[in-house]
Structure 1
Amino acid sequence: MQTAKATDIRLALASDLTIWRSFLAIAELGSLTRAAIYLDSNQSLLSRQINALERQCGCRLFTRTGRGVELSETGTRILEQVRELLQGAQQLETDIRSNLQQPVGRVTLGLLPSISSALVGRLFSHMREYHPAVQLKILEGSSGQVEEWLTDARVDLAILYRYATLPEHEQKLATVDSYLVGPAGDPLTGGGDIPVSALAGLPYILPSAPNGLRNALDAVARQDKLAVVPVIEADSLPLFKSLAEQEHLYSVLPLHAVWNEIEEGRLQAAKIADARLQRSITMAMSKSKGPARAVQVVAAAICTIVDELGRRGMWHSTAQDIAMA
């Protein structure tokens, strides 16, 4: 019996894997909009791709509903085969790239603005020196936005704040104290640590709820019967810092958010000696996106930088805690 040759393989519908990746994203997310975000594409392009694919197949692959799209009977039947096809192609690419000396690819990192200022510059320098073939894409947003990007696999890595028990899939990087931040020369923030009772009755600029720090601060204020009321609410870190400096307002922030301003003598900060206002910095990794080796080296670099900044006093890194145990 003659063995079939690779040259005998004829591909038509399966020749373009990109369109099948679009099919899989829409099938798994149930929405053209969410699939477009995940694929860094746009909804109209995906719609045209799927319409063309359905014409090639000669049948409907999706049923349009008021809430999005659902797989048709044919689409459901071929879903696993498409997934296996794409996973096989991805494994081939991974095997090829694993033979390279340097990791290659773009890694998308989602994080909060207050962490971004401390990490991104150092991370870029580290990657340029040690892994120049890895490209970084940075997305800044609120905690809710970063978590949504992680869920949608729009980011490969996410850096988050947590005030309660950590989810199992997140790695704790550091413990962060909260600081009362005020203008230069302010006597309240010019000494050592302060008790939480010292927060009562001050003119604040604070983030609007819902916000992790605001929720924790409001809970402590209720428990201790303290008047901690903002005179202005904002969701802009630069605005917090400028109004604290220029209008003599106070805010409650992590030290790393005002590190440069304190070094320049523009602001002062006193640690609030209350564990209820501590938070954790965590790192979460998407399970379904990004070049694996490149993501791993970026994650390792972040851990190294967090540990280095912990030794400088910016926070208590997990590596420090382990060393002291």
Structure 2
Amino acid sequence: MDVKQLRALVTVAEVGSVTRAAELLHLVQPAVTRQIRTLEEELGVPLFQRTRQGMRPTDAGQIMVDRARRALSELERARAEVQPRSGQVTGIVTVGLLESTSDLLAEQLVAAVGRAHPGVDLRLMTGYSGHLQQWLDEGDLDLTLLYNLDSTPSLNARPLVRERLWAVAPASAGLRADNPVAFAEVAAHPLVMPASGHALRTLIDAAAARSDSTMGVTVQTNSMRVQKQLVVAGHGWTILPGVGIAEDVANGSLSAAPLCEPDVWRSIVLGTARYGRVPPAVAVVARALVGRITTAVSREQWPSAELQTSEDAAGDG
């Protein structure tokens, strides 16, 4: 088993065609076919089903594709680290951002890393906390923002920010930042909610129980952008972190107010793998991300957010 075989395997799986894979790999088609066949003979199992729709990985093939993709990524990262430019930190760093924070942090993080460390190849992925934690555990992320999470046997969680959740309504509702809204009042409206099982939904359901409120959920979605679109269109109110709706409130498309009775907060942490060395490129990107968050909170660009330390988090617990 060699790198060329792994590249052929992954490329055929991605494009579904040996012919197209050969073009992308700058090889002749028989060479790619031979690499796949040799790999299948070595493993003793078929890796693809040959169908009219193209090459589809078998169950064993999909396992190999997933592992091969990760192995190739690690080799690419190692090459970037061991071939540094003079005096520069180099390497590939993949960062996970919560969807609600991406508008505030993504461009500024890219700019800061690009200025200070042009040799770092920065890659950004956005998602919900549960997905980001899974990607970190699987090695697809080097560091990521997560929320309401303590350190676990597999990851370190550094507390960064504690932020309040907000009631979000159409602009015509006239909600204001200086006039908190009781949870029971929010629950009296039709609600556009995160899908059940989502970590934010878990926080909201717990608040509903504490306030003895019954929520009338009209629609559930796993997209914050869709949540906001449906509220703008008049399908109901929703509940989101302030960082996710600051721009919408500023441009007048939504109105929002902090929740009260009870207050609902989430804590954002920086998650990193607990084991293994921390490459210099990962360390400098982590510092840049923490710096950007600190700046955003201190400049009040992050609504109702408070910087948090490990001692603060222990006190909250």
TM-score scaled to structure 2, two decimals?
0.69
Task: Name the CA distance, whole Å, in 2 between partners of 1:117 and 1:283.
Answer: 17
Distance 1:67 1:248, change over 3 A: closer
CA positional deviation for 1:154: 1.1
Amino acid of the structure 1 residue aligned with 2:109? L
Q: 1:130 aligns with which of 116, 119, 124?
A: 116
Task: Name the CA distance, whole Å, in 2 between partners of 1:312 and 1:165.
Answer: 27
Task: Name the CA distance, whole Å, in 2 between partners of 1:209 and 1:119.
Answer: 27
Task: Name the CA distance, whole Å, in 2 between partners of 1:219 and 1:144.
Answer: 18
CA deviations on 1:169-214 (whole Å, 9 max, x unpaired) are 1111111110001122424446512333332311111111111111
CA deviations on 1:71-94 (whole Å, 9 max, x unpaired) are xxxxxxxxxxxxxxxx9xx99985
**Which of these two proteins has the greater Rg computed from alpha carbons?**
1
More strand by percentage: 2
Distance 1:320 1:170, change over 3 A: closer
Q: Give the equivalent residue in structure 2 for 1:217.
A: 204
Q: Give the equivalent residue in structure 1 for 2:286.
A: 299
CA deviations on 1:120-173 (whole Å, 9 max, x unpaired) are 1110111121111212212222333212211111111121122x5453611111
CA deviations on 1:227-260 (whole Å, 9 max, x unpaired) are 2221121122222222222316211000110111
The reply on whether 1:146 has 2:136 as its aligned counterpart is: no
Q: Give the equivalent residue in structure 2 for 1:172.
A: 159
The reply on whether 1:183 has 2:170 as its aligned counterpart is: yes
Task: Name the CA distance, whole Å, in 2 between partners of 1:62 and 1:157.
Answer: 37
Distance 1:51 1:280, change over 3 A: farther
Amino acid of the structure 1 residue aligned with 2:141? V
- Is the contact made by 1:104 and 1:291 (CA closer than 8 Å) also made in structure 2? no
Q: How many residues align?
A: 272
Q: 1:317 aligns with which of 296, 301, 307?
A: 307
Q: 2:88 aligns with which of 70, 90, 102?
A: 102
Amino acid of the structure 2 residue aligned with 1:299? A
Amino acid of the structure 2 residue aligned with 1:318? Q
Amino acid of the structure 2 residue aligned with 1:202? H
The reply on whether 1:112 has 2:102 as its aligned counterpart is: no
Q: Give the equivalent residue in structure 2 for 1:255.
A: 242
- Is the contact made by 1:109 and 1:155 (CA closer than 8 Å) also made in structure 2? yes
- Is the contact made by 2:192 and 2:235 (CA closer than 8 Å) also made in structure 1? no
- Is the contact made by 2:96 and 2:144 (CA closer than 8 Å) also made in structure 1? yes
Distance 1:188 1:115, change over 3 A: closer
Unaligned runs of 5+ in 2: 22-32, 47-57, 62-73
CA positional deviation for 1:279: 1.0
- Is the contact made by 2:129 and 2:145 (CA closer than 8 Å) also made in structure 1? no
**Percent of residue pairs bearing the same amino acid type:** 25
- Is the contact made by 1:156 and 1:289 (CA closer than 8 Å) also made in structure 2? no
State the Cα RMSD in Å: 4.1
Task: Name the CA distance, whole Å, in 1 between partners of 2:129 and 2:188.
Answer: 28
Distance 1:91 1:238, change over 3 A: closer
CA positional deviation for 1:301: 0.5
